[in-house]
């Protein structure tokens, strides 16, 4: 499942960047899915900083164009050097804390919407990040969690995470559209 997702990410990255298909809202998480996500996340978050760095290094190595938004380390090529970057570690910590807030708030849709709005607005307006990178990052998160926590991230848990990350991408894309993000396409073909 994870390999297929990576192939999809590579295909999407090659398509017109910034174009977003008509997305359907994913179905809400069930109580069982919420518990599976929260339980698995508790293990991941025990080593928040290193796991966050692993996710971002994988993103930047596998999708080098994603580094264009980071002046402090966009020219670093070697994974070992990326891992040592204080700026990358700082951003990884912010990403993991945002994910932690989402996971802890899965039973509070208003809090989840608030966090996603802040993240979406900042990335659209201040950082000008193409929203496709949220989908790419979702695939990287699933890949790293599946490899590093294979005993915890069973296919059922991975499916719950996939659903959550699809919801995140759907919500972020909706925020970009509300903001009139200039690169978004609403055409279906």
Domains delineated in the chain: 46-179 (1.10.490.10)
Short-list 179, 54, 182, 38, CA closest to 119: 179
Which one is predicted more confidently, 189 or 166?
A: 166
Give the model's pLDDT for residue 181. Answer: 87
Does the structure show a pLDDT above 70 at 111?
Answer: yes
Give the model's pLDDT for residue 82. Answer: 94
Give the model's pLDDT for residue 24. Answer: 80
- pTM comes to 0.84
Give the model's pLDDT for residue 22. Answer: 56
User: Per residue in 3-30, pLDDT tens?
Assistant: 444 444 444 444 444 444 456 888 999 9
DSSP codes joined into one string, the chain: -HHHHHHHHHHHHHS-TT--PPPPPPPPPPHHHHHHHHHHHHHHHTTHHHHHHHHHHHHHHH-GGGGGG-TTTTT---HHHHHH-HHHHHHHHHHHHHHHHHHHTTT-HHHHHHHHHHHHHIIIIIS---THHHHHHHHHHHHHHHHHTTTT--HHHHHHHHHHHHHHHHHHHHHHHHTT-TT------
User: Per residue in 41-53, pLDDT tens?
Assistant: 999 999 999 999 9
Assess contact for 107 and 95: CB atoms under 8 A: no
Does the structure show a pLDDT above 70 at 62?
Answer: yes
Does the structure show a pLDDT above 60 at 189?
Answer: no
Does the structure show a pLDDT above 60 at 110?
Answer: yes
User: Per residue in 136-188, pLDDT tens?
Assistant: 999 999 999 999 999 999 999 999 999 999 999 999 999 999 999 876 544 43
């Amino acid at each position: 499942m994870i390999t297929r997702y990576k192939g999809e990410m590579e295909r999407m990255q090659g398509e017109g960047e910034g174009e977003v298909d008509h997305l359907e809202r994913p179905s809400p998480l069930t109580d069982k899915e919420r518990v599976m996500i929260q339980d698995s996340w508790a293990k991941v978050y025990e080593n928040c900083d290193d796991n966050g760095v692993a996710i971002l290094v994988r993103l930047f190595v596998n999708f080098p164009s994603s580094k264009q938004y980071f002046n402090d380390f966009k020219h670093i090529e070697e994974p070992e050097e990326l891992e040592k970057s204080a700026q990358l570690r700082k951003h990884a910590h912010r990403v993991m804390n945002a994910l932690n807030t989402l996971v802890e708030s899965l039973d509070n849709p208003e809090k989840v919407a608030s966090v996603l709005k802040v993240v979406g607005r900042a990335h659209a307006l201040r950082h000008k990040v193409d929203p496709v990178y949220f989908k790419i990052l979702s695939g990287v998160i699933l890949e790293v969690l599946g490899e590093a926590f294979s005993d915890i991230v069973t296919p059922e848990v991975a499916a719950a995470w996939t659903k959550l990350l699809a919801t995140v991408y759907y919500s972020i894309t909706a925020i970009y559209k509300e903001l009139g993000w200039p690169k978004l396409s609403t055409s279906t073909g």
